[in-house]
Structures are given as C-alpha cells and as structure tokens.
Amino acid sequence: MDENYPVELLLNLLKIYSPSGKEKEISNFLFLELRKLGFNTEIDEVGNVKAVIGKGRPRIFLCGHMDTVKGMINPYIRGKVIFGRGAVDAKSSLAALICGAKKFKEICDKGEITLLAVVDEEGYGKGIRHFLSKCNEKYDYAIFGEPSGTYGLTVGYRGRILLKISCKASKAHSSIPQFFDNAIYKAKNIIDELLKIEEKWENIKEEFFWKPSLCVTKIKGGNSHNVIPSKCDMVVDIRIPPNMMKEVKKEVMKIIKKNENVYVKKLSENPPFLESENSILVKLFLESIKEISGREGRLIKKTGTSDVNDFAEKMKIPCVVYGPGNSKLSHTEKENVSIIEYLESIEIIKNTLKKIIDYENKRSIQ
Ligand SMILES: [Zn+2]
C-alpha cells in the first residue's frame, strides 16, 4: 500500500456527504475502492458494502459505519490534523479498519477478513440489523470501528430501550377543567415519577456506565387553545447497564401501569454489550497497542449504544470496538483527527490481526 493512501482514502470518504439515509454515493465509492484493493465486494439490499479478502480460519469480522450525523463540514488539513464531518465519528475508524486489513493481508496469507461498511448507525441501526437478519455465517472475532482514541479500546456499551408513552383523556371545554382529566397533566405526572427513579439511579455509587439513565426526548400534546387536551405523546430514551435490563423495565412499567388511559409502545431495544477484560481479543489488542505505540492501552466503557450491541448478542464471539479520534468531538462542528494517531491506529489494527493469526496457529499446534 502506498504510504499516502490512508490519508487519501480518509479525505475521499470525508468529501462524500453521507448523513443516515443518504449513503448511496459513499456505498458505491467503497464498493469500487475495496474491489481495487483486492476484496470481493457486494452491496446488499439496504446499501451495506460487504468485502471479503483471504480465506480459511480464523474468520475475522470488521465493521464500520458509512453514515454520519447531519451537517456537512468540508474536509481540510491544518497542520497535522484532518477536519471534516465524520473525521471522528466514524470515517477515520472505518478507513483505519480498511487500511489495517489490507496491510495485514500484504504480510499474511492466513485467515479470512470480512469487512462490512454499514448504513444507518446514527439512525436506527438498519444496516447492521439487516445484515444480522440474513447472516448465517460464523465468525471467530469481531472488531467494530468507533472512536476510542488510538490508545483506547472500548469493551462496553449500555443497552437501550426507546419507549413511546401515550396519555389519553376525553376532550372537553377548557373553561371547566375541574371536571375532566387532562392528558398533558397525566404526562407531567408520569414525567415526575420517572424523574424520581432517574434521581435514584443517579445516586448509585458507580461510574456512569453502571447506572441506568432516562431522558424524555420528545413530547407533543393538546388539540386547541380552548379544549382540554385529549392526547399527549412522549418518547423516553432509557439507557441501561448490563444485568439491569429486567429490573429497569419492571420499574418503568410499574409507573406507566399505575395510570389509567396510558399506553406504551416499545419503539426499539438494544441489549447491553460488555466484553470481558480477560477475553483473548482484549488481551491481544492491548499487547498490540503497547508494541506499536509503547503506551499502555486503556479500556473504555461507554454510556451510549452502537452497532456492536446487536452483533455481540447474536454472534456470541469476542468483540471489541476501536478507532482513532476523541469521541467527545463526535457529532460536533469540531470533528478532527490527528494524522499521526490515525496512521498509528492502522498499524495497531494490522498488528492485532497478525497477533490473532499467531495465537490461533499456536493453539492449533498444541
Ligand atoms: Zn459512530
């Protein structure tokens, strides 16, 4: 691989505006680009690009997303830093996986790599869900591309439940409110009760990752300025650490069920993700960070949710999440990544893939 290629590839990805739902151009670009790099490529019904290189065991799955949040920032380089929409979340991670895999294949003919570039990670995870619904393949290891910083490795994401709560009442003239239920007041009461459990969770003496949280993210109610509201709908976004899914669901449902004429619909659910710190993949990755950079790798548990949650739940194989860039800059106007750290992350990925092969070889000899 030409030494300028990684930066060129990243700039090319950043030049294509690809907010969730509008990934066609970047998907076509990657289809051709990965083919040029020697991968067998295909595009599925929803626009995911699947690219395979090499064959045999182990089978390693790499996954990054092509979409970004809305708001184009034209890419530019200042000093040794690349700016642009997606520079952090997560086109530098995706490009690092692609370059890391290609460079690995230049030095090792063992093992098969499947690279999946998905759509809609920032939306509703349509890309990974479609892939999982069709996939009967078995993989041995998986690395997802999301910013962890070049010397960090993400091993946890909380789970998520998204609920729509609808409060109903009958319409009546607003000059006689004392005789009728008001759907907006009902919603207010529910919010007050939800905030009480949120406060209780906040007081749990643990890091953020190990506490549930909830947030009312949308609300809409009322019919007219002179009618007692008959309807109020709200969306509640609940984030849940591993081992608390059942408990949290029960607590929230108890509040909702206490109220008459209140209905709930689950809009989506993602399981929590937690990779054991003793997992061989975590061990090899940390060794790789140390070998390439001389630094101790740092394990990270994130409060959000990503595509790895659904994948790990279904596949039950070692999974980690890695990529250059400071995730605090994700979705901001200041997204940028250091070229040096980006290039270093590529070497770390390549070295990790090599270490997986060496580990598997040793295991098959024993
Ligand atoms: Zn992302």
Active site residue 67: yes
CA of 357 to the centre of ligand 1 (A): 28
Asked, colleague to colleague, whether 5-157+272-365 and 162-270 share their fold, the answer is no
* pLDDT score at 124: 87
CA of 122 to the centre of ligand 1 (A): 6
* pLDDT score at 29: 98
pLDDT digits (tens, 9 = 90+) for 255-308: 999 989 999 999 999 999 999 999 999 999 999 999 999 999 999 999 999 999
Extract the runs of DSSP E, i.e. beta strands, from the chain. Answer: 40-43, 49-53, 59-65, 76-78, 81-83, 112-118, 141-145, 152-157, 159-168, 172-173, 213-221, 227-228, 231-240, 262-270, 273-274, 298-302, 319-322, 336-338
CA of 173 to the centre of ligand 1 (A): 48
Catalytic residue among 121, 275, 344, 347: 121
The CATH H-level superfamily of 5-157+272-365 is: Zn peptidases (3.40.630.10)
Segments making up each domain of the chain, as ranges: 5-157+272-365, 162-270
* pLDDT score at 364: 85
* pLDDT score at 236: 98
Question: Which CATH architecture describes the domain 162-270?
Answer: 2-Layer Sandwich (3.30)
Q: What is the CA radius of gyration of the chain?
A: 23
* pLDDT score at 287: 98
Cα–Cα distance for residue pair 169/231, rounded to 1 Å: 6
* pLDDT score at 145: 98
Cβ neighbours of residue 112 closer than 8 Å, sequence gap 6 or more: 52, 53, 54, 55, 56, 57, 58, 59, 60
Catalytic residue among 67, 89, 122, 335: 67
User: Among residues 306, 286, 282, 302, which one has the least CA distance to residue 294?
Assistant: 286
- The answer to whether 193 touches 255, Cβ cutoff 8 Å, is yes
* pLDDT score at 172: 87
Q: Along the 366 residues of the chain, how does pLDDT read in single tens digits?
A: 999 999 999 999 999 999 999 999 999 999 999 999 999 999 999 999 999 999 999 999 999 999 999 999 999 999 999 999 999 999 999 999 999 999 999 999 999 999 999 999 999 899 999 999 999 999 999 999 999 999 999 999 999 999 999 999 998 899 999 999 999 999 999 999 999 999 999 999 999 999 999 999 999 999 999 999 999 999 999 999 999 999 999 999 999 999 899 999 999 999 999 999 999 999 999 999 999 999 999 999 999 999 999 999 999 999 999 999 999 999 899 999 999 999 999 999 999 999 999 999 998 887
CA of 85 to the centre of ligand 1 (A): 12
Active site residue 291: no
CA dist 279 → 29, 115, 284, 301 (Å): 35, 22, 9, 15
Residues lining ion ligand 1 (Cβ < 5 A) are 89-90, 146
The per-residue DSSP string of 259-275 comes to STTEEEEEEEEE--EE-
CA of 153 to the centre of ligand 1 (A): 14
CA of 334 to the centre of ligand 1 (A): 15
Residue with tokens 């090899």: 284
Cβ neighbours of residue 246 closer than 8 Å, sequence gap 6 or more: none
CA of 125 to the centre of ligand 1 (A): 11
